[in-house]
Amino acid sequence: MKLGWLEATVLTAATFASAKDLAYSPPYYPSPWATGEGEWAEAYRRAVDFVSNLTLAEKVNLTTGAGYVAHSYETARGIELVLTAYADGSKNTVSVRPVVSPADYNSGFPAGVNVAATWDKQLAYQRGVAMGEEHRDKGVDVQLGPVAGPLGKYPDGGRGWEGFAPDPVLTGVMMAETIKGIQDAGVIACAKHFIGNEQEHFRQAGEAQGYGYNITESVSSNIDDKTMHELYLWPFVDSVRAGVGSVMCSYNQINNSYGCSNSYTLNKLLKGELGFQGFVMSDWGAHHSGVGDALAGLDMSMPGDVVLGSPYSFWGTNLTVSVLNSTIPEWRLDDMAVRIMAAYYKVGRDRVRTPPNFSSWTRDEYGYEHNIVSENYVKLNYRVNVQRDHANVIRKIGSDSTVLLKNKPGALPLTHQERLIAILGEDAGSNAYGANGCSDRGCDNGTLAMGWGSGTANFPYLITPEQAIQNEVLNYGNGQTNVFAVTDNGALDQMAAVASTASVALVFVNADSGEGYISVDGNMGDRKNMTLWKNGEEVIKTATAHCNNTIVIMHTPGSVLVGDWYDNENITAILWAGLPGQESGRSLVDVLYGRVNPGGKTPFTWGKERKDYGAAILTEANNGNGAPQDDFNEGNLIDYRRFDKDDVEPIFEFGFGLSYTKFEFSDLEVKALKADKYEATTGKSKHAPVLGKSEKASENLFPSGINRVRQYLYPWLNSTNLKESAADPDYGMDAKDYIPEGATTGTPQELLPASGPSGGNAGLFEDLIQVTATITNAGTVAGDEVPQLYVSLGGEDDPVRVLRAFDRVSIAPGQQIQWTTTLNRRDLSNWDVASQNWVISSAQKKVYVGNSSRKLPLSADLPTVQ
Ligand SMILES: *[C@@H]1O[C@H](CO)[C@@H](O)[C@H](O)[C@H]1NC(C)=O
Ligand SMILES: *[C@@H]1O[C@H](CO)[C@@H](O)[C@H](O)[C@H]1NC(C)=O
Ligand SMILES: *[C@@H]1O[C@H](CO)[C@@H](O)[C@H](O)[C@H]1NC(C)=O
Ligand SMILES: *[C@@H]1O[C@H](CO)[C@@H](O)[C@H](O)[C@H]1NC(C)=O
Ligand SMILES: *[C@@H]1O[C@H](CO)[C@@H](O)[C@H](O)[C@H]1NC(C)=O
Ligand SMILES: *[C@@H]1O[C@H](CO)[C@@H](O)[C@H](O)[C@H]1NC(C)=O
Ligand SMILES: *[C@@H]1O[C@H](CO)[C@@H](O)[C@H](O)[C@H]1NC(C)=O
Ligand SMILES: *[C@@H]1O[C@H](CO)[C@@H](O)[C@H](O)[C@H]1NC(C)=O
Ligand SMILES: *[C@@H]1O[C@H](CO)[C@@H](O)[C@H](O)[C@H]1NC(C)=O
Ligand SMILES: *[C@@H]1O[C@H](CO)[C@@H](O)[C@H](O)[C@H]1NC(C)=O
Ligand SMILES: *[C@@H]1O[C@H](CO)[C@@H](O)[C@H](O)[C@H]1NC(C)=O
């Protein structure tokens, strides 16, 4: 029996649960329909108006991509909604056509991990606006970002750098600011990958077969309810609160039900509890079933085909058929279309839209519009430069994210009095293949400024550290400094020779990671180790053996093991520069020469050994040919929470970073605020609205005379015989065998206790406590500090401390400021599985303030609140 389109939840329950005792995802139906509450009201009203006028085929067209033929998958960045409605009685089309990067004449932005390292909400917002403007000006409707999954269960997970940090609060704040920025620029943001997408290995069964694992299903992230709420779901709550227009469901399974088939994560958590009003789209190839996924809460199939490049779809014609044969209720399709259009209106796509002016298949000016079928040779690339002045914010994020991990007196900043500067390491120089010489940045040649995969962009240029340092010395120095660069990591003798004559050696090393469809030096997306790449340790060793003023600069997507060298007495300073984007060299020299006083803080822990982080990435199939099982047994104890709980000393702790000045913390004040009592949400939803009239098969036939693009997906039928049109051998299977109970009802439904229209029950976001501290710049230069507030929730199973608030503040030398922040109910609560709600436990809670997860000079007990 072929079960392709069955609901995976039901399948799991029936097939495995008893026999093999695998984690299981409870069904939750029906799929909550949009209600247009809060700030969605106007957009929702317009969407309902618009969708009410559409035909069945037009609604289906909104939900289903035109297929892989219409765009390039590797470089997925945005989709284009080609949208025109009936106007003046003339027939226009409503369709969804994905258009994706990489484009050209666009910026190469710093990675999410760098944004996290700035701890600067304003910079996160500004980067969001800048990215949004570039997508908008290229004609893209949806930018496929930002990323909160992976969150960072694994320090060596391949795509961690695309997101922000392995802390839900830091990530949540950065998600929200980025989303607001992108959407204020008039482009729909997409919070992804929902959810539990923590490793690249086995994320897609087909991909894993490509590297030798004969598995039939993708990895299952088995996550308990408490961990889900307290860790992985948290930043998505902030995304929904920020008004995000779309969410992308992930490749992996959660409790053995696929990300885009999982009624528990999509219907219950995202749409039910969080009250998400936008649309859920599938990751490219993550759509696994027609009827099942529609009922489980998927709203848009991207790029639409069953497998990339096939001319068939789980939706498209099949979706039209399943509404006509009453398997999927009309209201569910209407809800999909309304959610898509509500997001469209919410960000103002109807006001600012430009037609797409680039192709994701080629950089040539002319080419085939339908690339893989070589049809329609036209002008594709208009080479519209969308960079504006974004280099400025890119440069600023680059320098403000640079973390000073070590600095002996006199080492940094440089002074232009240097006698001889040695620049050592391939990571200082250019990629001999060109900055964009490897497809989707899938190599580690020259300086590293971006990881690899579909989350990358083409660089417009890439300023290397070598270029920027040479430029600095030659143009702004005193004319006396000598400077030499050795960028061949095999040339250790030459490095030794230069190092032994240098007054300062700047050593550049890196490690890289990316997305699982590209393997670089045996790293299948995820890193295969946590050491440096390309002989980096030997380069450092060579420098330190010959130069007692060695400064190490690292470009890495996350933590690397530095234990063998960081405390070498000849290493006078260490900087982590992350993946800084196109302005890499300039951002760095701003810090090296003290024009920017470093204020970045590491957004992850630097441990002594890999094992200190806990579980290893699952790299061997552990369930025969079935889905590899990744049990999230560590619960919410990842990164610093793990180190704290185990009382293991890291080398550099989460939140740590030095400055060229010195800050002091004093005068902690804690005050309870007046607040209402928390009330669980009760009551029922309204009846699901049905828009438009029911149609007959005959009204949905392919229009005669239409020029069908080969392999394109259309919403129409070949014949009034539905079975024939669906061309599915399993067509007509008895509904009671696969339609989950209650999945098709549109009657009012019981609301969840923790639910609310914008991220959950409004009481969760009510401030209960105000905290104030004084911060003094006790040094001689101006600088930025990041006050960090941690809370101990006090329960036996709780992390020792969790980050709950932070800001980045600039303080002049000798000055002090008062920093005030608040804690809301969610900040002080635990998820209670029994009541399915957030509860403030009776355990004594404590607040800590300081400038890293382990440098917390101020602390106080919290007053009892409820
Ligand atoms: C997964 O299973 C765990 C343990 O039974 C349960 O707590 C959790 O809610 C389930 N999550 C999903 C998404 O099914
Ligand atoms: C829907 O159709 C009605 C009647 O034809 C028209 O008045 C209205 O403007 C249309 N609304 C939209 C959003 O197209
Ligand atoms: C659906 O979209 C395709 C292009 O992707 C277009 O050719 C077709 O006319 C659209 N059909 C309807 C009913 O809007
Ligand atoms: C892969 O597994 C399937 C079923 O589990 C089996 O039919 C097939 O022969 C296997 N293929 C290889 C290459 O081992
Ligand atoms: C309908 O979906 C099935 C899989 O469920 C697929 O095999 C078939 O090709 C699809 N039909 C069309 C017309 O895309
Ligand atoms: C560039 O990267 C490719 C792919 O990883 C590698 O094979 C090649 O040796 C590198 N070339 C240089 C000059 O670094
Ligand atoms: C770790 O992986 C990198 C990149 O593939 C490689 O260059 C390095 O040699 C590896 N380290 C060890 C200790 O094997
Ligand atoms: C390095 O060695 C030189 C010469 O031996 C000495 O003058 C200088 O002070 C040393 N620098 C550091 C940073 O120890
Ligand atoms: C430090 O550098 C000096 C050269 O300046 C060298 O003689 C010494 O061995 C180095 N020390 C270490 C620990 O590498
Ligand atoms: C529908 O008809 C077209 C044109 O004859 C054909 O290419 C396509 O395969 C048919 N689709 C199905 C699902 O039978
Ligand atoms: C209705 O159509 C869908 C999509 O083609 C198909 O999977 C399903 O089996 C059909 N159901 C019935 C009862 O005909």
pLDDT in tens, 652-697: 999 999 999 999 999 999 999 999 999 999 999 999 999 988 899 9
Q: Give the closest residue (by CA) to ligand 11 atom 7.
A: 731
**pLDDT at 863 > cutoff 80:** yes
Of 104, 137, 283, 444, which is the active-site residue? 283
Cβ neighbours of residue 540 closer than 8 Å, sequence gap 6 or more: 507, 509, 532, 550, 552, 565, 571
Nearest atom within ligand 5 for CA of residue 311? 14
Residue with tokens 């910079």: 123
- Its sign, for the CA torsion 334, 47, 179, 69, is positive
Residue with tokens 């047994």: 633
What would be the CATH architecture of the domain defined by 5-384+689-737? Alpha-Beta Barrel (3.20)
End-to-end CA distance of the chain: 54
Nearest atom within ligand 3 for CA of residue 95? 2
Residues facing residue 558 across a β-bridge: none
Q: How far is the CA of 636 from the centre of ligand 1 (A)?
A: 14
Is residue 734 very low, low, confident or very high in pLDDT (cuts 50, 70, 90)? confident
pLDDT score at 357: 87
Our mutation pick for probing the ligand 10 site, out of 718, 719, 720, 721, counting the most ligand atoms within 8 A of Cβ, is 718
The pLDDT of 50-72, averaged and rounded, is: 82
What would be the CATH architecture of the domain defined by 402-595? 3-Layer(aba) Sandwich (3.40)
pLDDT score at 738: 82
Burial class of residue 679 in the structure, from the number of CB atoms within 10 Å of its CB (0-12 exposed, 13-18 middle, 19+ buried): exposed
**Residue ranges per domain, the chain?**
5-384+689-737, 402-595, 664-679+755-861
**pLDDT at 350 > cutoff 50:** yes
Q: Which of 675, 682, 680, 722 is nearest to 701 (CA)?
A: 722
> Is 238 among the catalytic positions?
no
pLDDT score at 393: 97
Q: Give the closest residue (by CA) to ligand 4 atom 8.
A: 214
- Its sign, for the CA torsion 323, 327, 331, 333, is negative
- The CATH number assigned to the domain with range 664-679+755-861 reads 2.60.40.10
The percent of residues above 90 in pLDDT, for the chain, comes to 84
**Maximum alpha-carbon separation in the chain:** 85
pLDDT score at 74: 24
- In this prediction the pTM is 0.95
pLDDT score at 93: 29
| Any ligand 7 atom below 6 A from CB of 503 | no
Q: How far apart are CA 85 and CA 99, in angstroms?
A: 20
Q: How far is the CA of 548 from the centre of ligand 8 (A)?
A: 6
Our mutation pick for probing the ligand 5 site, out of 288, 305, 314, counting the most ligand atoms within 8 A of Cβ, is 314
Q: How far is the CA of 557 from the centre of ligand 7 (A)?
A: 15
Is residue 69 very low, low, confident or very high in pLDDT (cuts 50, 70, 90)? low
Q: How far apart are CA 264 and CA 253, in angstroms?
A: 12
The percent of residues above 70 in pLDDT, for the chain, comes to 94
**pLDDT at 832 > cutoff 80:** yes
pLDDT score at 466: 98
Q: Which of 277, 318, 321 is nearest to 299 (CA)?
A: 277
Of the listed ligands, the closest to the CA of 503 is: 8
DSSP state of 69: G
Q: How far apart are CA 496 and CA 556, in angstroms?
A: 24
pLDDT in tens, 703-733: 998 888 888 889 999 999 999 999 999 998 8
Is residue 183 very low, low, confident or very high in pLDDT (cuts 50, 70, 90)? very high
Single-letter amino acid code for the residue at 599: G
